[in-house]
Amino acid sequence: MELDKHFSDKALQDFKLIDLARDHGDEKAYAELMKRYKKPLYHTILKMVRNVDDAEDLMIEAFAKAFRSLHKFKKDYTFSTWLFRIATNNCIDFIRKKRLETTSISSSFKDDNGDDVGMDVKDLEADPQEKVIKTQKAELMQLVINKLPPKYQMLVNLRYFREMSYEEIAVEIGAPLGTVKAQLHRSRELLYDLVKDKKDLI
């Protein structure tokens, strides 16, 4: 199969980066993939969840999940299509969990070839196997979180495991809201680096 007949130059460049990241653990390749799609992915997620902090969280989670699953990626479609579907499915789960009002679930985006890609809506009820997998992932993520400096561990646990709002965290730890947001932003960056570097553990 001659990939150049079916995909754009950008998509072909993505394939090369994926090969470097997946087969050689090339950190620059991971960074370049994130650089290419960070902004459009963030804006797509923001349209769905309508909250800048949640959008940033979900963007990092999407990249982390995609990088952990690169071994499953097949070059039958573009990386952007695959990445955006991972992200939108995460958003749908998030929206259902939080019961947010949104009209963006049925929207679509264009991939590198200009084709419309619809959002895959998953079943509302998770089967027992999925629940076990989610529990295992939470336990593994906790192991990664434990590698963070203590103050970041606390913030991440309050935000993602106790599901407290930024305002509630600020009250809980007696810190200004701006400080909480800045430190959580830094903790997400550190978590991303840990997940990226230890992708085989999760």
Please report, for residues 24, 31, 84, 143, the alpha-carbon distance to residue 28 in angstroms, rounded to integers and kept in the order given: 11, 5, 21, 25
Residues 6+ apart with CB under 8 A from 201: 140, 143, 144
Judge whether 159 and 130 are in contact, CB under 8 Å. no
| CA–CA gap between residue 55 and residue 69 (Å, rounded) | 21
Residue 103 domain-assigned?
A: yes
Residue 132 domain-assigned?
A: yes
| CA–CA gap between residue 44 and residue 141 (Å, rounded) | 25
Q: Which of 63, 91, 118 is the last residue of a domain?
A: 118
| CA–CA gap between residue 55 and residue 60 (Å, rounded) | 9
Whether residue 134 is found in the same domain as residue 59: no
Whether residue 64 is found in the same domain as residue 142: no
Whether residue 134 is found in the same domain as residue 114: no
Residue 123 domain-assigned?
A: no
- Out of 4-18, 72-86, 92-106, 130-144, the most confident range is 72-86
Residue 88 domain-assigned?
A: yes
| CA–CA gap between residue 55 and residue 47 (Å, rounded) | 9
Residues 6+ apart with CB under 8 A from 93: 122
The count of C-alpha atoms lying within 13 angstroms of the C-alpha of 51, restricted to the half-sphere facing its C-beta, is 14
Whether residue 67 is found in the same domain as residue 162: no
Question: The CATH number of the domain where 193 resides is what?
Answer: 1.10.10.10
Whether residue 98 is found in the same domain as residue 184: no
Residue 126 has pLDDT above 90, yes or no: no
Domain span including residue 170: 128-201
Whether residue 105 is found in the same domain as residue 11: yes
Judge whether 175 and 154 are in contact, CB under 8 Å. no
Mean pLDDT of the 178-200 span: 76
Is pLDDT larger for residue 185 or for residue 146?
185
| CA–CA gap between residue 132 and residue 126 (Å, rounded) | 10
Q: Look at residue 79 in the predicted model and tell me its pLDDT.
A: 92
Which tokens sit at 1? Answer: 């199969």
Whether residue 21 is found in the same domain as residue 93: yes
Give the pLDDT confidence of 33-83 residue by residue, as tens digits.
998 999 899 988 888 888 888 888 888 888 888 988 888 898 888 999 999
Residue 193 domain-assigned?
A: yes
Whether residue 27 is found in the same domain as residue 72: yes
Whether residue 155 is found in the same domain as residue 79: no
Whether residue 8 is found in the same domain as residue 97: yes
Domains identified in the chain, total number: 2
Q: Which of 118, 145, 166 is the last residue of a domain?
A: 118
Question: The CATH number of the domain where 32 resides is what?
Answer: 1.10.1740.10
Q: Which of 72, 97, 118 is the last residue of a domain?
A: 118
Whether residue 57 is found in the same domain as residue 21: yes
| CA–CA gap between residue 40 and residue 52 (Å, rounded) | 14
Whether residue 86 is found in the same domain as residue 132: no
Mean pLDDT of the 122-144 span: 56
